[in-house]
Amino acid sequence: MLRSRALALWTLVVCLGVVAGAAAQTAPPGPARLAVTDATLDNGLRVLIQEDPRNPVVAVQIFYRVGSRNELPGATGLAHFLEHMMFKGTPTRGRGEISRLIELNGGRDNAFTTKDMTGYYVSIAADRLDLVLGIEADRMRNLLLDPAEIDSERQVVMEERRTRIDDDPEGVVYEAMSSMAYLAHPYRWPIIGWMSDIARINPGELRAFYDKYYQPNNAILVIAGDVKAAQALALVRRYFGPIPRGATPAAVTAMEPAQSDERRVIVRKADAQLPVVNIAWHVPNYKSADAAALELLSTVLSEGRSSRLYRHLVYDKRMVLAAGGEYSYTSLDPTLFWFYATLLPGQTAEAVEQALLAEVEQLKAEPVPAEELERARNQIEASFVWQQDSVFSRASVLGRYEMMGSWHLLDDFLPKLRAVTPADLQRVARLYFAVDRKNVSILLPAPAAPAAR
């Protein structure tokens, strides 16, 4: 539980690549962190390499600074659709060939799209680095984007949306919250896009999106595993070096106006078995001095069975099956702090909403006891150590912090957490969790149809 949530924290992040000319190796202070070699190619590609000889494997992950936040109304889901198309071939590697080559060499590949970025990852025997870099360099600029393949894959993406959202009551209520809480910012639409947009998007739009964002100067390449940094960097230069720099994509300029009202949505689904109550407030991201306190608040509220919401609502009051408070520290733009609860049978959404709000009021009224704060800090610090156990998670975290501006930001995170006081937690709760500016989304079972009575 600790590990999976710790990983979930690293979702979404920034651009504005900071850059140094020559490769520099740094071994920062801190718990057992392996050294990172970083470099920027002449075409702007950022490269991070971490040597780890413990297992004969390597994680190769490439992150593009493009996600659903870079889309426009009427063409939502483009970033994710394009992610699917990245497996559909180039002139030298036809449809299915990329995954076939990876599997033939004993590797695993997959990809993901978030609101802030699109990532492609391969884990493979370390002596196959050459193969993977060749593939990634090829599909960075040479994608076929064949119209017939686009139409076929469109159906797959629509199936994915049905599985993940339309047929999952909790997916529907999540989508409803986001599209209500954001008025002006692109975080309001789902990453996978609206069904009508997926159905409509045309090959020209995919091509234009690809040309705009899939450029070396808009990407971060991370390599972690049983490799030598100098040799790996030479391979990277060989494959990616010849790719010319692209135009710099325009920055996302949308700003969410301050919320001055209360918003509420109720979703009724026939198959919803247990009601769900979500309450969300707009909060800043990692750029704010308050971010570390928000991160600790989330851990105090949610992490483990000794967390507050578990102890109070699950254990003592027996109102809910599960509850928590989720915050995305690394979000590229200001984000939402979500309180969520899944009700036990026999409980009402009204009562659980009041119980969640009472927890919020308690955060404002009383400082969090020192022991609770210390536990939360220990949990986050331990998760940092655990994350180093795999090349996959280390590569992911490096890439995400580089997205935020620099992987060196990782070194600031724990010191920032350590500086937070109980008074800070109380202050941010008062500042951001205003009772008359909240967003509430509730999932309820559909009332029984008259015919069924």
Partner 1 sequence: MRHLTRWLAAIVLVTTTVSAQAAGSLAHREILPDGTVLLVAERPAIPIVVVRVSVPAGAVRDPADGLGLANLTAELLTRGTAGRSGPELDRAIEFVGGSLEADAGRDGATISLSVLKKDLPLGLDLLAEVLLHPSFPADELGRKVADIQAALRRSEQSPEAIAGRTLGPLIFPGHPYGRPAAGTIESVGKLTRDQVVAFYRLHYRPDGANIVAVGDVTTAEIRQALRQRLASWTAPTTALPPIPRPAATVAAESRRISRDLSQTTVVLGRPAIRQDDPDYFPLAVATYVLGGGSASRLYTRVREEKGLAYSVFAAVQPGRYGASYVVSLQTRTDSVTEAVRLVREEMARMGREPVSAAELDLAKSYLIGSFPLRLDTSGKLAGFLGAVEDQGLGLDYPDRYKERIARVTIADAQRVAAKYLDPATFSSVMVGK
Active site residues: 83
Q: Which of 57, 177, 301, 409 binds partner 1 (CB under 8 A)?
A: 57
**Closest separation between CB of residue 64 and partner 1, Å?**
14
> Which range in 10-18, 43-51, 282-290, 300-308 contacts partner 1 by CB under 8 A?
300-308
**Closest separation between CB of residue 113 and partner 1, Å?**
8
Query: If binding is defined by CB under 8 A, does position 270 make contact with partner 1?
Result: yes
**Closest separation between CB of residue 44 and partner 1, Å?**
26
Query: If binding is defined by CB under 8 A, does position 32 make contact with partner 1?
Result: yes
Query: If binding is defined by CB under 8 A, does position 90 make contact with partner 1?
Result: no
CA 208-213-215 angle, to 5 degrees, is: 110
**Closest separation between CB of residue 341 and partner 1, Å?**
12
Query: If binding is defined by CB under 8 A, does position 379 make contact with partner 1?
Result: yes
Query: If binding is defined by CB under 8 A, does position 105 make contact with partner 1?
Result: yes
Query: If binding is defined by CB under 8 A, does position 54 make contact with partner 1?
Result: yes
Nearer to partner 1, 329 or 433 (CB): 329
**Closest separation between CB of residue 383 and partner 1, Å?**
7
Nearer to partner 1, 163 or 248 (CB): 163
Nearer to partner 1, 255 or 370 (CB): 370
Query: If binding is defined by CB under 8 A, does position 414 make contact with partner 1?
Result: no
User: Could you say which residues in the range 3-22 bind partner 1, by CB under 8 A?
Assistant: 3
User: Could you say which residues in the range 150-209 bind partner 1, by CB under 8 A?
Assistant: 151-160, 162-163, 166-170
Torsion of CA 334, 327, 405, 61, to 10 degrees: -130
* Neighbouring C-beta atoms of residue 126, cutoff 10 Å: 19
Query: If binding is defined by CB under 8 A, does position 35 make contact with partner 1?
Result: no
User: Could you say which residues in the range 113-142 bind partner 1, by CB under 8 A?
Assistant: 113, 123-125
Query: If binding is defined by CB under 8 A, does position 390 make contact with partner 1?
Result: yes
Nearer to partner 1, 134 or 405 (CB): 134
Please say whether the beta carbons of 122 and 106 come within 8 A. Answer: no
Lookup result for tokens 């599909």: 139
User: Could you say which residues in the range 356-375 bind partner 1, by CB under 8 A?
Assistant: 371, 374-375
> Which range in 10-18, 106-114, 207-215, 278-286 contacts partner 1 by CB under 8 A?
106-114
